[in-house]
A and B are shown apart, each in its own frame.
Chain A
Amino acid sequence: MHTFDRLWRSQRGLVGGLVVALILAVGTLAPAIAPYSYSTQSLLTRLEKPSAAHWLGTDGFGRDILTRVIWGGRVSLEIGLLATGLSVIVGTVLGGIAAYFGGAVDTAIMRVADVFMAIPALFLILVVVALFGAGLTNTAAVIGLVTWAQVARIVRGECLSLRARDFVDAARALGASHRRILGRHLLVNALPVIIVQATLLLGQTILIESGLSYLGLGAQPPLPSWGNMIVEGRQFLASAWWVATFPGVAIFVTVLGFNLFGDGLRDALDPRLRAGD
């Protein structure tokens, strides 16, 4: 039984990693591997069933769905990586500072995080998009804005437990500067947690982005986005189910991949952390 679990756990990370690698490859190579153009429309081939010419069928404008799914992946990855990067950087820095300095600084930063978590995310996003317009960078920025607080919380928690350890006191005794301790010792040791968080966050941001696209924000035409493909497909559910189905499958597989990978990472990194205890 033990072996079963060990096998499952190591497989999980591996499978996740493979999926992630595949998605990244597809996204990067999109211009090369997509069979058609994602924007050229063709009246004559509207809403065609999946066939040899169009593996995933065509949409309401006659565009090839496989191509748009591939390009949609590229768009989702772009937004996801940008948003996650933003979120992780801001969250890590603020969380680390909060944990290290403690006291008033800690309270202040955590209160700000509280406020961000209290304001309904969708509302914030809608308003920011109304203000600055939708589009790749804006969408990424606003998703980062909404998710940094949870990263900050986790990093702070991790750093708090690390701070209490001997090596921090030792470093301080040796006269190391705040920045050095924070950067070199705390954050570096918190890195495994941060990486795991980032991976899981990437899956989460892709879900958020698809939800935004569903509501009409996010990537704008003619750039396809999995979310807005599903919106378009909803009206054809009765007559052309494939338009809404395949983009959703793509989202599911991608997010699953990131989650598997993140879990596998956590299991791989966790025991080592504990071993160093």
Chain B
Amino acid sequence: MSMRHQGHRRVLVSLLFVLLGFAAPCPARGAGKEMVIGFLGDATSLNPLVATDGQSYIAEWPMFDSLLELDQNLNVRPLLAESWEVSRDGLTYTFKLKKGVRWHDGKPFTARDVAFTFYAVLDPKVTTPHRAYFDALVGFPELTNKDNPKRPEDLAQKPIEVLDDYTVRFRLRYPYGAFLAVLVNPRAGIIPEHLLKGVDLNTAEFNRKPVGTGPFRFVEWRRGERLVMEANAQYHGGRPALDRLIYRVIPDAVVLLQELRAGGVDFIESPPLTEVARLKQTQGLQVLVADNTSYNYLGYRQDLPPFDDMRVRRAFYHAVDAGTLIRQVLQGYAAPATGQFPPSSWAFDPSVKGYPFDPARAKGLLAEAGWKPGPDGVLVKDGKRLSFSLRHDQANQAVKDTAVVLQEYLKNVGAETRLEPLDWPTFVKKLFASDFEAICVGWTNFHDPDPFAYTIWHSSQWKGRNFAHYRNPKVDEVLEAARRAGSQAERKRHYAEFSKVLMADAPYVFLYFPQQVYVTRQGYEGFVPIPTYGGIYQSLKSVRWTGR
């Protein structure tokens, strides 16, 4: 047979095998010993250091440990660090690490991995969103300088020192009370030095095939489709009860729910809230709810009329009935917001109250501020109508619905709001350029008041997250003091004062802290809904299938 014919035959035979493979049935799923998690969007990277989006955090969390983890009260407790000591001046933290921990490839975990991880965070060549959290470390400005970064060896005092295989010491340049809080996952997962030393972390193959010390180890990642992990039998905290963890990407909330009902997935996040009541009553399903730290608000440019008048801002606060809004838009799955801190945070001050729903008072305040009813019902002052644009993300259904409700409330007190939904990149650009009048947005927050309290409200951050251009010297003072304070009690005092002053200014109408709602199959138990972003995923290592 000629060469060409042989080639053809080979192709045909392979084709036959492909077709046969096509027709062969897949092995059935291991019933109950694995859990399929439905994912609204795929992760972009499985390396905790360079991952920048929420989906990636949730995806890599089961595979990586951090030094500490959170408990249900958002306090830290040991994970890879067995114990620690803080010096009297609050500038030195010494951690004793767990012994006998191994990476998924069998190599031992040591303090050198910890040092490597955090020096990488400080390295300006690495694109990582976590750098800012470590501002308190000694040598931070020198090490993170973009144009002329120093190397750790060149510093007189090193921020991170390896004392021995299981002891690591951090040095701070000011007493930063939140330091322990930033050492938790998903932002502080430890990565292996022996695999990543000298490698460009931004583009490493490791980001697609990670090796961690976590309760689950990586098996495969089919982009846009699924991520498969299996239990780490050598996990230092004990082998997880589940055999396999599979994240399945289904970018449509309605379809996600259908898949749950049909048995294609076992766990979903964010079901349509209007369906939750029915889901609660569905046989074989259970609903889990967790608080969260991010809040939605109605915000405005503080330096733009009409919002530069405090009476107008307070009037708008009185005009909105947040309680009804929560019931209407979120079916009650949210906690009312009275400021920067969620009720579950230690910094939350219950004595600070929002302005009660009182449209009459709102109208009174507006009249006081010089706004008189115009011919079409909209208030007028000096020839200008009380009319402004409200920008928001067009893809977020809850925000859209909230904006529509806000529009009604504001109309009732004589303000005309023009809704302008924008696609997310456009919206973000306008936010950071401070190109807006009013906005309705929800942003992530952190389980510790710092850094967001500072970056959102300090007047030095106008080019950053303080795009609303808020300025109050008293607030600046208090926030700086809180940052420098060493003890939680001291910080709590400062933040309490901060919350009071903030509410007096009424810069935003704080609306709600939306809860995270999950639905899973009855029979899975052991979830712990930690009240921070994706907190429930921390407990995957303790989830088990009881088969009932």
B259 sits at the interface (CB 8 A): no
* Given known contacts A130-B423, A221-B404, A234 and B278 CB-to-CB distance under 8 angstroms: no
Query: Is B407's CB under 8 angstroms from A220's CB?
Result: no
Query: Is B407's CB under 8 angstroms from A41's CB?
Result: no
What's the nearest-Cβ distance from chain A to residue B436, in Å? Answer: 12
Query: Is B421's CB under 8 angstroms from A216's CB?
Result: yes
Query: Is B274's CB under 8 angstroms from A43's CB?
Result: no
Query: Is B421's CB under 8 angstroms from A220's CB?
Result: yes
Query: Is B328's CB under 8 angstroms from A221's CB?
Result: no
* Given known contacts A220-B420, A234-B254, A239-B278, A41 and B394 CB-to-CB distance under 8 angstroms: no
Contacts of B272 in A (CB 8 A): 235
Could you give, for residues 208-237 of chain A, a 1 whenever the CB lies within 8 Å of some chain B CB and a 0 otherwise?
000000001000111000000000001111
Query: Is A236's CB under 8 angstroms from B274's CB?
Result: yes
What's the nearest-Cβ distance from chain A to residue B109, in Å? Answer: 46
Contacts of A133 in B (CB 8 A): 420, 422
In the docked arrangement, what's the CA distance between A40 and B394, Å? Answer: 21
What's the nearest-Cβ distance from chain B to residue A124, in Å? Answer: 15
A60 sits at the interface (CB 8 A): yes
In the docked arrangement, what's the CA distance between A227 and B446, Å? Answer: 38
* Given known contacts A235-B254, A235-B272, A43 and B327 CB-to-CB distance under 8 angstroms: yes
Interface size on B, residues (CB 8 A): 25
In the docked arrangement, what's the CA distance between A236 and B277, Å? Answer: 13
Inter-chain residue pair count (beta carbon < 8 A) = 52
B400 sits at the interface (CB 8 A): yes
In the docked arrangement, what's the CA distance between A239 and B279, Å? Answer: 12
**Residues of A104-131 contacting chain B, CB below 8 A:** 129-130
Query: Is B395's CB under 8 angstroms from A41's CB?
Result: no
**Residues of B377-425 contacting chain A, CB below 8 A:** 394-395, 400-401, 403-405, 407-408, 419-423, 425
Max chain A Cβ within 10 angstroms of own Cβ: one of B253, B421, B422: B421
Query: Is B394's CB under 8 angstroms from A221's CB?
Result: no
Query: Is B407's CB under 8 angstroms from A221's CB?
Result: yes
Query: Is B421's CB under 8 angstroms from A134's CB?
Result: yes
**Residues of A128-176 contacting chain B, CB below 8 A:** 129-130, 133-134
What's the nearest-Cβ distance from chain A to residue B434, in Å? Answer: 18
A204 sits at the interface (CB 8 A): no
B14 sits at the interface (CB 8 A): no
Contacts of B423 in A (CB 8 A): 129-130
Query: Is A222's CB under 8 angstroms from B404's CB?
Result: yes
**Residues of A27-57 contacting chain B, CB below 8 A:** 39-41, 43, 47
Query: Is B426's CB under 8 angstroms from A221's CB?
Result: no
B324 sits at the interface (CB 8 A): yes
User: Out of A43, A129, A216, A220, which one reaches B324, CB within 8 Å?
Assistant: A43
What's the nearest-Cβ distance from chain B to residue A49, in Å? Answer: 16
Closest chain B residue to A239, Cβ basis: B278
In the docked arrangement, what's the CA distance between A60 and B403, Å? Answer: 15
What's the nearest-Cβ distance from chain A to residue B457, in Å? Answer: 30
* Given known contacts A216-B395, A235-B254, A235-B272, A41 and B408 CB-to-CB distance under 8 angstroms: yes
What's the nearest-Cβ distance from chain B to residue A44, in Å? Answer: 10
Closest chain B residue to A216, Cβ basis: B394
In the docked arrangement, what's the CA distance between A60 and B275, Å? Answer: 12
What's the nearest-Cβ distance from chain B to residue A125, in Å? Answer: 12
In the docked arrangement, what's the CA distance between A130 and B272, Å? Answer: 27
Query: Is A61's CB under 8 angstroms from B328's CB?
Result: yes
Query: Is A60's CB under 8 angstroms from B395's CB?
Result: no
* Given known contacts A235-B254, A235-B272, A220 and B408 CB-to-CB distance under 8 angstroms: no
* Given known contacts A216-B395, A216-B421, A234-B254, A221 and B274 CB-to-CB distance under 8 angstroms: no
Contacts of B419 in A (CB 8 A): 220-222
What's the nearest-Cβ distance from chain A to residue B379, in Å? Answer: 19
Query: Is A221's CB under 8 angstroms from B400's CB?
Result: yes
In the docked arrangement, what's the CA distance between A163 and B214, Å? Answer: 79
The 28 sampled A-B contact pairs (Cβ below 8 Å) are A39-B408, A41-B405, A41-B408, A43-B328, A47-B274, A61-B328, A61-B401, A61-B404, A129-B423, A130-B423, A130-B425, A130-B426, A133-B422, A134-B394, A134-B421, A216-B395, A221-B404, A221-B407, A221-B421, A222-B404, A222-B407, A222-B419, A235-B254, A235-B275, A236-B274, A237-B254, A239-B274, A239-B278
Q: Which residues of A contact B (CB under 8 A)?
A: 39-41, 43, 47, 60-61, 129-130, 133-134, 216, 220-222, 234-237, 239
Excluding A60-B274, A220-B421, A222-B404, 13 further A-B contacts by CB distance (< 8 Å) are: A39-B408, A61-B401, A129-B423, A130-B425, A130-B426, A133-B420, A221-B403, A221-B404, A221-B421, A222-B407, A234-B254, A235-B272, A235-B275
